[in-house]
Homo-oligomer: A and B are copies of this chain.
Amino acid sequence: MEIIQSPQNKQVKEWKKLSSKKGRLNQKQYILDGWHLVKEAIQANESIKRFLIVPDSRYIDEFNEFNSTKAEVTYISSEVAHAISETPSPQGIFAIIMIDDSRNVLPSDLTGAWLLLDSVQDPGNIGTMIRTADAAGFRGVVFGDGTGDLYQPKVVRSMQGSQFHLELLQSDLTTFIVELEKNDIPTFGTELNKDAKSYNEIGKYSDFGLIMGNEGNGVQAKHLKLTKHNLYIPIIGQAESLNVAVAAGILMYTLKK
């Protein structure tokens, strides 16, 4: 069995580049770290290009039993695993996944619930919102301009595999909101403004779009103008605001029929 031993190896350097947006764009692939995510990718029939495995990883038996793909397996040393991983104690199992370019095409049927991200920045927030959208039974998440990159390692970690359960699209939000409204699918903006509608007074919906905004600046005014309603969550105590992923969770579970 050939094992790549050195973090200085040329291929290892290429994999390390996948932690940057530039590297992912150039190579059109991203990396999954850990057995839970690798397993989800196999289950979801993702285009897996290659597995990277430390031969004495404690997940190797489970992997060999579960893996039904023909993707190549490359063995790496524990030192290489530490070089690639962004976690302090990697499980020694990775998958390199081809990035799907079809994310920029708008679906012709827009029914279902959509979460629209308007310049959300923090990768932990983005990943957590995608995981919550999955749990709440949403159809997809739309990445508007200025929103952090879907495939950065921290987003991938906090999504916990939900990218395989949802439609993740990249779109200009103005276009997407207008398209939903044209199809009689209501859109809801969110703002920290007591003159907006309280979030629990508009009922439940099967088909709708919910827009969450940037951590500091909220949803852009040009988007708030296009929506059916703009909602706010009352602040009862003295906090100035809610964390955006928490607010998104409250809204998704309240609005989804």
Contact = CB atoms under 8 A, between A and B. Distances in A.
Contacts of A162: 237-239
Number of this chain's copies in the assembly equals 2
A25 interface: no
Interface stretch (A64-72, A142-150, A179-187, A245-253): A245-253
Contact of A250 (B134, B238, B239, B250): B250
Nearest to A135: B239
Given A246-B246, A249-B249, A239 B128 contact: no
Interface string A157-194: 01011100110000000000000000000000000000
A235 interface: yes
Interface in A59-95: none
A202 interface: no
Contact of A242 (B135, B165, B235, B238): B135
Nearest to A128: B243
A135 B237 contact: yes
A137 B250 CA distance: 15
A257 to B, nearest CB: 10
A242 B237 contact: no
A131 B243 contact: yes
A7 interface: no
Contacts of A1: none
Interface of A: 124, 128, 131-138, 158, 160-162, 165-166, 233, 235-243, 245-250, 253, 256
7 contacts: A131-B243, A132-B239, A133-B237, A136-B236, A137-B237, A165-B238, A250-B253
